[in-house]
Structure 1
Amino acid sequence: MPICKPGDLVRLLAPGARLIGLDFGSKTIGIAISDAALRVAAPVTTIRRKKFSADADELIKIAEGRGVGGFVVGLPLNMDGTEGPRCQSTRDLTEELLKRHDLPTIFQDERMSSQAVERAMIAEDLSRKRRSESIDAAAAAYILQSALDAL
């Protein structure tokens, strides 16, 4: 299934299917999941990147275990809205993931997501260690929540 428009995503989902939010970083992948009503996103976990086939297998296992019917992938646009090399890398990883597990997928602008999440964590007085352990999954939840709000 090709990448779809955000407005088509809900129509393509099976009833009760959840969305999984992905934040592809250079060293980790942050993962978040929506509720079945597609209203709330929650962080799930962060996986350390290895080979893509192992990463894809782990993502698919999580998706299948949680009733996921679609992907929301954070797209790291430049501040001016243009796409740089990181966007192309994200698009390539997404295409490879879809070859293994074909689900409706949208890209969501992720500009400033990590910074917004880190500011919130600092405001909650989380230690630097605790922030580094959970920031990627929280950023994935932020990205997914942005998409849910737009839907």
Structure 2
Amino acid sequence: MKFLAIDYGSKNIGIAISDPLGIVSKPLTTISNTSTTKNVIHIINIADTEQVDKIILGLATDSQGSNYQSLKHHDKLIYSLRNHSTIPIAFWDESDTSIRANQLQTKKNQSRQSIHAISAAIILQDYLDTHSQAENPDND
């Protein structure tokens, strides 16, 4: 099963992709957050080209574990993705992914945009690792 993850920011949207088996994630690209329509077209084109089975959208949670405010911020994107694609969408906690992405940044001159793709890869890898452990609890 192949996955695409989204790190949705106010200026940039990071995209990451998994391998075909859904084991490893990698940053794919960063797109400018221009308009919901353009963003959705771009995301769906990538998902179709990559033959994605599921989209994972990072959502920030508050101290109580609620992602209500994050859902409100992303609602137009979620609504449009669901209306223009049949690819299932799952949500995953994106808390601290930007911090972790900055720590993983190896080149000092790496652009701020690439951090969003790295954040998307972290979101996706967390999702893949958690679901892999849930399906194979004896692997510890």
- Same topology, TM > 0.5: yes
What 5-or-longer segments of structure 2 have no aligned partner? Answer: 132-140
Relative to structure 1, is the Cα distance of residues 24 and 133 closer, same or farther in structure 2, using a 3 angstrom cutoff?
closer
In structure 2, the partner of 1:141 is: 121
Residue 5 of structure 2 corresponds to residue 45 of structure 1: no
- 2:66 paired with 1:115: no
Instruction: Give the distance between the partners of 1:116 and 1:35, measured in 2 at CA.
Output: 21
1:115 and 1:49 mapped to 2: Cα distance? Answer: 21
Which digits, 9 at most, give the CA deviation of each residue in 1:74-107, with x for residues without a partner?
0111244233533322244212211111211110
Query: Which aligned pairs between 1:23-62 and structure 2 lie closer than 5 A?
Result: 23-62=7-46
Show the counterpart of 1:18.
Answer: 2
The count of corresponding residues between Structure 1 and Structure 2 is 131
Q: Which runs of 5+ in 1 are unaligned?
A: 1-16
> 1:90, 1:60 → 2: CA distance?
16
Partners of 2:50 and 2:68 in 1: how far apart? Answer: 32
Q: CA RMSD in A?
A: 1.5
d(CA) in 2 for partners of 1:137, 1:26: 14
Aligned with 2:58 (options 74, 78, 96): 74
**Residue 131 (structure 1) shift:** 4.3
Matched position secondary structure for 2:72: helix
Q: Residues 36 and 76 of structure 2 are in contact (CA less than 8 Å); yes or no, is this contact kept in structure 1?
A: no
TM-score (norm 1): 0.80
Q: Give me the TM-score of the superposition, normalised by structure 2.
A: 0.86
Cα deviations by residue, 1:100-134 (Å, 9 ceiling, x for unpaired): 1121111000000010110121xx3x21x414131
Preserved CA contact (<8 Å) 1:77 1:87? no
Amino-acid identity (%)? 31
Q: Any idea what the Cα deviations from partners look like across 1:39-72, whole Å, max 9, x if unmatched?
A: 0001000000111111111111111111111100
